[in-house]
Structure 1
Amino acid sequence: MASYVSPELISAMGFEDTLVPERLIATFSGFTVFEVRGITITDELSRSVTGIAAGVNYRIGVSASVNSACRAIADDDFVDAEIEWMKEHQAQGPFALVQIGPTEAYEAEVTHIRRGADGSITTYDAFASSREEIRRLEHRALPRIAAALACAFNEQDRYVRLKKVARTTVGELQDGTTLHDVRLEFRGELSTSYAIGQEALQAKLETTTSLAQSLNDRVAKFLALGQSEEDQMKRFLYFFLALEIETHATFGRLDHGQELAALLHESAATPPTRSLLGTQLSGLKSLHDRFVWCSACSWTHLTTDDVALFKQLKQARDAIAHGNVSDPPAAMLSTLAYSPCEPYGKRVKWCSLSH
């Protein structure tokens, strides 16, 4: 959502209002700091390398000091007070600093400039397009680079973990002057609630005790992990795992011949027929097919729309598993995030599934 920043606030941030717009041309680079956990580097050791990943140019500097790593690839310090910065980010190094870029040159006419004591220039939201380009390049290249770093440093029985610590974007003018383009961003979280009366509250608590006793242990584990997880990809996968486990468990409990007999006309429900078709049904392997059969036999409160939605969820999970997408589908995540306890509107009534 776009936000309006008043001239008074711009002035309070230390920006000068130029009478004549100043034309600036700059290239930009993104810098991401990883703490490399599992190795030790002596203070004086600092190394760098350049490369191309997914068609994106990058440089990596590795050192016990984030400033030393930055000097190795950008000839400048990353922060002014490194000790305080390390305390703030709860990191002690060594560090791998990854530079993505630089981009092609961007041009802007700016009316608000702040000049730093170190000679750098700061503008306010004058190069939004450059930030978007850096984000796209990082999205393409950083996963490859981080994975390659971890693989390169891992050894037999020696596991190395990369923890992302910080990220920033920095520009450089044609004369070498450092340029920072900043903007204020406001984020919020909106939640809704509904009123609940005494009788409904009691009913919910009684449902809780019933579910706590009957839920599959593994299903409950993944539901709990999904509820508490902040990362959207992990939330989606945890919730889908819970649904997948419950589907297989329910399918395994069914007497397929008996369930089929109940769905067929009596004339077709002879013991030999039930035995034959029950054997065929028990051999179903596809998760989707098993879900359809469970919805017909055990989860009768599900609708055809719910079954269709499950197919979409599975397709999304498969796309993630095969590497075709790297983000969970936002609309489907809100569906899976619904705690599976009882029917609710048009959402899938996932786990009255366990009843």
Structure 2
Amino acid sequence: MQVSSYAIEKMGFSKYPDDNELPVKFAVQRVYSLQGINFEKESELLKSAVFQFGKQCKVVIADSVNKAANEICGEDYAENEEEWVKEKKGRPPYLLVCFEENEEHILKGGYRQEKEDHILTYDGFKDGKKEIKKWELEELPSIITSLTVHFSEPDLHIKLVSLDRSVYGKTKDDKTLFDLKMTGSMSAFVSRPKSTEEINSSLRKSTNLYSSLDQKTSRHIFMALEEPDRLKQFLYYFLFIERFTHSQFKKIDYDNYAKNMFNIPARIKNVGMEFFKERQLDAKNLSQRFQWCSLLLWNEIDDSDVTSFKELKKTRDLISHGENVIESTLPVEEIRRLALKLLGSI
């Protein structure tokens, strides 16, 4: 339903003439609760360093959302943080992800409320924020995936719970233009204390992993992390493992890997290499390729991981064949652990 000019003006907005131009650059802040860790008591600052993910995105972790926002943007995120925490049901530490657009947008006229330190507009940028939408679709999944991989541990899954999303603009005279949308959720979790140095180390590893990920690799992990349904979670994780295994298998250089792994005697060097290349060509199915990658590529994968994969595949096959599988018994935690371990190995 289209809102009338009269209704917009009754909300406190004034119509500006079209020759009154307002240049704005937009940014988005995403706030997550980092469930599964907390700062050690002796960590005085209770905040991480600021890390760069790509050219336009910065990430920081802190025990306060305003402390995090000030590290990146130089101003508070919430006017009243205590009320914000109650509303969002948030728990520290908080991960703040901030992405800034390169493109400048021009508002010609439009409905505005101009305050001393900020501006409110009403539907003034219908075609704006395209970079933000593209970034959230293509880059944010890789960032969240990278962070989940390197903050999780074999016996502890770290969950990034989305608490809030704020889209805003900055004018040339440093006024903030607000465009806010909120989401929230919460679940129970157990925390493990970490020092600031350990948190910075995990952030550093995450930036390295992020730079090597592509959209196809991280998409299904991200979908699984965001999915509340256990059956869909399991299938998304398995789809990641399947596609990841096939893509990694194609990268195996048998001339080098087979030589080191199988110690082919010099007297049959040529014939031996041909033998292993033929065996590679014979590896068509997922299980065979997973075994080859475990032998030659994935140094962190051990016997228990391969055994786990075989059991997980049996479960996936039962689902594929239409067998009755009880959703509550699906090994979601186990397949998530294996998926994150595989990503952490690259």
Larger RCO (alpha carbons 8 Å, 6+ apart): 2
| TM-score, length basis structure 1 | 0.48
